[in-house]
Amino acid sequence: MKDFSGRKRILVTGGGGFIGSHLCERLLTDGHDVICLDNFFTGVKQNIAHLLDHPYFELMRHDVTFPLYIEVDEIYNLACPASPVHYQFDPVQTTKTSVHGAINMLGLAKRLKARIFQASTSEVYGDPQIHPQPEAYWGNVNPIGPRSCYDEGKRCAETLFFDYHRQYGLDIKVARIFNTYGPRMHPNDGRVVSNFIMQALRNEPITLYGDGSQTRSFCYVDDLVTGILQLMDSPKGFTGPVNLGNPGEFTMIALAETILRLTGSSSPLVMKPLPVDDPRQRCPDISLARDTLGWQASTPLEDGLKNTIAYFEALLASD
């Protein structure tokens, strides 16, 4: 369905979200025709407002839990609340978005014979007993806990993708996305980077859970989008799943101290109990991405944090 210029028509579900908006922007830069689909439950129009006048950008308000009839060449399925605050607000709808959304987008891809990308998550590994986590690890997930609507919803979506691939020969790409940060993060999404930055900029106490020794790895959004595009452009026989993230680990205390230094904040550190099923460690083994895609994150944490802090400073100033 490419036009005479070779321009692809690409659907991005969840395109008004944090990662989705950066992906839409990059696809437009690469010369494609982009349809951004979002119901704006967690995505915000501000993320894509600067794209609305672009001649090859189209915004569609739609919920992926309902079927969609449209003609496109490729599909990037990113639609789903991705932070605990948002996905636990309506856990039943979260599961529906992951499962029904996957079924609807896979059905669309099957009809169109289109390549389709699934934004899966490191949450499929649960509270891992293997560290770092390779793609071959099946995970340690609580199926009935408060986080299971997201964890199990994404695991079921992966099942559907691979069943469509095996049963119908559908051309799929699956990425397991680890902690990602950068401009356009939702200021109230409950994620550690946005939490710490907003608390620091307001000189409020910085909330650490547990003793602060638990670790996370942080990938800057530009690096992640590059990985997504490289996976989507990989040969047809390579389906994934592929871990996309930064294998560099940081404790929560180290992250808080870095943000305090970069913001010049006087915020004190406050310890609170660890949430239910919150993993102690989360770090990707990116050997597959490195060896197969030639991809690895390259943005140093401090550089990415400076850009993210500047975004939140501008957001607070505008408010």
Contacts of residue 90, defined as CB under 8 A and 6 or more positions apart, other chains included, come to: none
Q: State the amino acid at position 84 in one-letter form.
A: P
CB 207 within 8 A of CB 270: yes
- Can you tell me the distance from the alpha carbon of 71 to that of 57, in angstroms, rounded to the nearest whole number? 15
In terms of C-beta density within 10 A (0-12 exposed, 13-18 middle, 19 or more buried), how is residue 125 classed? buried
Q: State the distance between the two ends of the chain, measured CA to CA, in whole angstroms.
A: 43
Residue 262: what are its φ and ψ, rounded to 5°?
Answer: -70, -30
- Can you tell me the distance from the alpha carbon of 13 to that of 35, in angstroms, rounded to the nearest whole number? 8
- Can you tell me the distance from the alpha carbon of 214 to that of 280, in angstroms, rounded to the nearest whole number? 5
- Can you tell me the distance from the alpha carbon of 80 to that of 249, in angstroms, rounded to the nearest whole number? 26
SS3 58: strand
Residues labelled catalytic: 150
Taking residue 308's Cβ as centre, other Cβ atoms within 10 Å add up to 23
- Token pair belonging to 300: 């140093």
CA 181 from chain center: how many Å?
9
Residue found by looking up tokens 């859970």 in the block: 209
